[in-house]
Amino acid sequence: MVLDVTLVIIAYLLGSIPSGLIVGKVGYGIDIREHGSGNLGGTNTFRTLGKKAGLIVTLADILKGTLAAALPFLFSSDLHYLLVGMIAVVGHMYPIFAGFKGGKAVATSGGVLLFYNPILFLTAVLSFFIFLYFTKMVSLSSMLTAIYCVLFSIFYSILMGVDYPLIIIVGILAIFVVYRHRTNIVRIRNKTEPKIKWL
């Protein structure tokens, strides 16, 4: 019991590490919360600080989810990997180290899936870029990818054997992603959402 609670706390703290804030302040002397969308995630880092910083933050946010999901395995806990990983995603969205104002759950959720189901992760990345190619909007592509992950989880369970934790947790993560993009949804409806120009 003590071990399980400790792992949950560690997972939340891992998720709370504000990668965008750290990279911005240490590497560039900039608080990215004061620029662009004000978000701490990889997308705003790309827009504010460039490709190198954006890539570093995105990879760091993915790694947070992967490490958190791996905690039960590393410490021989009976907690489900996905459950602990989800706690890290909550930490990423509401980080104690950054005033509880964090990212939009996309990269860290991906990191959780990377540990638990690499096939889902890889196909989700591919799906994201396919959606991005057609929509030119990172936000919309992220939400469509979240929906794809839910559908994948259902069909994967049908083919490989029912995995209720996968379906349930991926469903919750998808809800997180859509909810965190609610302001983007308004802009998409109003046709004011920024579009990328490099793809």
How large is the average pLDDT for residues 169-196?
96
Domains of the chain, by residue range, sit at 2-189
Assess contact for 112 and 173: CB atoms under 8 A. Answer: yes
CA distance 52 to 45: 9
Model pLDDT for residues 85-141, shown as the tens digit of each residue: 999 999 999 999 999 999 999 999 999 999 999 999 999 999 999 999 999 999 999
**pLDDT (0 to 100) of residue 48:** 87
Q: Which amino acid is at 35?
A: H
φ/ψ of residue 103, rounded to 5:
-90, -170
DSSP per-residue string spanning 112-171:
HHHHH-HHHHHHHHHHHHHHHHHH--HHHHHHHHHHHHHHHHHHHHHHH---HHHHHHHH
pLDDT reported for residue 43: 87
pLDDT digits (tens, 9 = 90+) for 57-72: 999 999 999 999 999 9
Neighbouring C-alpha atoms within 13 Å toward the C-beta of 40: 26
